Structure 1
Amino acid sequence: MPNPYLPNWEYIPDGEPRVFGNRVYVYGSHDLAGSDRFCDYKLMVWSAEVHDLNNWTCHGDSFHTRIDRDHESDATWSDRELYAPDVVEKDGKYYLYAYIVGSKGCVAVSDKPEGPFKLVSPYSVSENSEQILKDGLFVDPGVLVDDDGRVYIYCGYLSSYMAEINAEKMFEILQDTYKADIIPVDEPFAFFEACSPRKVGDTYYLIYSPKIGSRLDYATSISPTGPFQYRGTIIDNGVDYPGGNNHGSICQINGQWYIFYHRMTNNTVMSRRGCVERIEILPDGSIPVVEMTSLGFEKSLSPYRLTSADIACVFKGGCYITERNVLERAVVNITI
């Protein structure tokens, strides 16, 4: 599938890709077309068979903070928006980590990677932890289950932090494991938000959004608790395209590495669609920067198939993609 790789009517930013079994799952926020705010009050899950990335299946709603026609709320203490979730597998169970705006975040569990997820608990934090942990916000959580079974959570907005999770309970933050500024705010790191941890071989990666531009940068370490070395930019989707925030991660599918990210539509930074690019991880652990393209999972666009204008990846002079209805998208505001 070219970019965006999900159906045109779906808006899944902040994508965290995970391969479970023979399928790749994307967990992200849920935006609305032309919205004046970030995210929705529900989360959705999409997946594709690893050998057929042209056909994505929607598994429906997976978690809610507000009652709707078909669902009760899964978080009784807040009805705020859900931002940037992550899902990991531990001992045959799938754990969803969610950030609820301005509220205590939570952990939910399912027997299936697509959910639906049932609440386990809000995060539990020891009384002598730092104030940011007492607040229990855990902004944009990214979670790592290490090879030895230990579990770590990485979070942050304007500054980063991490802690170790009790692997038996999966929601309890272990005492005295909090570390601030796991990715510094100073240059060249310039941390802003969107922590996403991965382990490749013996190297720990933290993919994140810096405070400058519409980029995804990364840092590496030989330990899950750092220190991390700044390595550079993976993708900058603000080059010749309407800028905005970025959030995503790397994933290996059938031996090929990809960077999942999002880009803006509808002339707003609050209406984002998921995209993907092929990347390469070199023997020294570095990831050469890639351009934003229209290709998605494809190596090239087919000359025998109609190519929609709304997959264009370069816009200059103020033009932009807009949704006219569920089926139609046009490039508008084109000037000479």
Structure 2
Amino acid sequence: MKEYKDCRNPVLPANLYIPDPEAHVMPDGRVYVYGSWDQEDNIYCSKEYRVFSSGNMVDWTDHGLSFDASRVPWVYDNNAPKYPGVDWSKPTPFLKKMIEKDTKDGKLEFPKFPDDFLFAPDAISKNGKYYLYFCTASSTEGVAIADHPEGPFDHSVQLPCGGIDPAVFIDDDGQAYYYWGQFYAHAAKLKDNMVEFEEGSIVNNIVTEEDHFFHEGSSLRKRGDTYYFVYSSMVRGKPTSLAYATSKSPIGPFLYRGVIVDNDGCDPQSWNNHGSIEEVNGQWYVFYHRSSQNKQQKRRLCIEPIFFHEDGTIQEVPMTSQGAGRPFVINERIEAFRACQLSGSVYSAPSTDGYEVLTGIQDGDQAAYRYVEWEGPVNEVCIEALGSGEIHIILDDEEEATGIVVMEDGQIISSSFAGSLGKHEVKLRFSKVYHLEIQALSFR
């Protein structure tokens, strides 16, 4: 196990790419996050899962490998049952756009995944056991069992459905439900053994692209007497937002209610989102991911506190750098890759000298950090960087810069800054750039 202290967004070290986070408070009182693992450079996910947990939402434990594709015996078994996944013969409006965009000589071209790649999982506790629900690139779905929330999970059982993105929910009466699907979400009741569907219990199309902007990534929670179905949404043209629909029943009908968080702008290539909501120590949070390295992949776990209105709707929250932790304070080093909003060509990626930096910077690009909180006036800003350029420091919604730092060959040539006490969003706006890479910033 490894321990990570005082974590902000992205939550985990910069070399850990854990997307599709499903978070559950388990019987030991800790919150556990189950997600995919982007280990390749140009393809989603991998053949392994790992699990992370926290008791306070800021200090995290890495439990290491929890499950891998070698424990899925049916993937390469030609005699294993086959179940239909997405019906490509009946395209949704978004799927039609995909076909028009990606068709070559009348054929769809999609990334080719090994059949045993593991896509987004979910997990739950029941009767002293822990159940990990998973799916593979071959559109099969299954469940594995463990004695501990972090695994290792084994004894895999294939489930009678095909598709991606499983989700599991246990209602107050002990009845468990299973959800899955892309473009159309489906549900079924699980038997008490948690590895079989109840006969005749499948309900199709409980949430759809047409009625709910549903793309993929089902996730269900209950608050009071209301069921919240959280999912990757097409409402803003591409699936960068996590939206939600509500119902008085775990199988619907569901009413579309809005967006919880949108990761558009976390990276120039940002494409999808997938996550969950969970109440931890009396506070609700949204768990989601952001891409990095100017790719759709290399997605990272992020967390934001969320807040409910009196009518049960959820206030949309912006992406932040502080996440579930505290704002950054005076004299604290802010690593550059914690920028929560990027515009232009700038993106975060490892550099040749081992740092995680903002790179690809061009004139007019901007990077935002939410939030800093200063107990008194701030008179100096320090930028750690390579290359040359002017960095304009802008606070909150101001149009004019509060300060400017001039860099030449990685050295500060001149610097001016005057920031007031209180909580602020900090934006860096770049000009006169020449091979500029930003490693960190701090205020004094």
* TM-score relative to the length of structure 2: 0.68
Structure 1, unmatched stretches of 5+, are 66-72, 126-135
Aligned counterparts, 1:59-138, within 5 A: 59-65=63-69, 73-78=70-75, 80-123=116-159, 125=160, 136-138=161-163
| % identical aligned pairs | 41
CA deviation string 1:254-312 (max 9, x = no partner): 11111000001011111100001111022321001011111111241222321000000
Cα distance change of structure 1 residues 326 and 272 upon mapping to structure 2, 3 Å threshold: farther
Q: Which residue of 1 aligns with 2:184?
A: 159
Residue 41 in structure 1 maps to residue 47 in structure 2: yes
Partner secondary structure for residue 140 of structure 2: coil
Partner secondary structure for residue 113 of structure 1: coil
Deviation at 1:10, TM superposition (A): 0.8
CA distance in 1, matches of 2:307, 2:148: 30
Deviation at 1:173, TM superposition (A): 1.4
Aligned partner letter, 2:307: E
Partner secondary structure for residue 361 of structure 2: coil
| Larger Cα-atom Rg | 2
Residue 215 in structure 1 maps to residue 241 in structure 2: yes
CA distance in 2, matches of 1:156, 1:12: 21
Aligned partner letter, 1:8: A
Structure 2, unmatched stretches of 5+, are 1-6, 76-114, 364-444
Cα distance change of structure 1 residues 41 and 120 upon mapping to structure 2, 3 Å threshold: closer
Q: Which residue of 2 aligns with 1:273?
A: 300
Higher relative contact order (CA 8 A, sep 6+): 1
CA distance in 2, matches of 1:241, 1:267: 6
CA distance in 2, matches of 1:217, 1:288: 11
Instruction: Please tell me whether the aligned partners of residues 66 and 152 of structure 2 are also in contact (alpha carbons under 8 angstroms).
Output: yes
Aligned counterparts, 1:227-306, within 5 A: 227-239=253-265, 241-242=267-268, 243-306=270-333
Match of 1:58 among 25, 47, 62: 62
* TM-score relative to the length of structure 1: 0.89
Match of 1:6 among 4, 7, 12: 12
Q: Which residue of 2 aligns with 1:69?
A: none
Query: Cα RMSD (Å) of the superposition?
Result: 1.6
Partner secondary structure for residue 215 of structure 2: strand
Deviation at 1:253, TM superposition (A): 1.3
Partner secondary structure for residue 64 of structure 2: strand
Partner secondary structure for residue 24 of structure 2: strand
Q: How many residues align?
A: 313
